[in-house]
Structure 1
Amino acid sequence: MGNHQLASLIKMANQIAANNTHIGDDVAEAKMVADHLRKFWARSMKAQITEYLESDGSELSPIAKQAIVLL
């Protein structure tokens, strides 16, 4: 996996999480983000971001991390 591709996935996951922080409930927000990733991300994208979370994950926001765990 290329660094540029991974950086793009991290950025997108964080943006999706940021766009879903209006509820004020971390669990509900993480579920919304996870649902979005399930619906709109390719299997390979989900696999790459999950692998990143498991190996490091330091650049992911807390909500994005929770969402990826739910995948």
Structure 2
Amino acid sequence: MKPKSKKEIAVNLWEMADKIIKEGDYDVINVRKAQFVDAVKAAEALSPAEKEKIINILQTAGAAEVKKHLEEL
């Protein structure tokens, strides 16, 4: 499997963050957040600092702010 570029990873993570925002069920939101964090940690094209920053934004500001940050990658 070909490693994904930073742009491809950003698009995938953006789509995951969008699903978190659109979800109404609290339990499903928590599952999607956990999946998002796992995906960030597994993203080989992101540096450890970038991974930490993305996860921190999700935890402190929410998925909408994560989407904005990912658009800048």
TM over 0.5, yes or no? no
TM-score range, shorter-chain basis?
0.3 to 0.5
Rg larger in 1 or in 2? 2
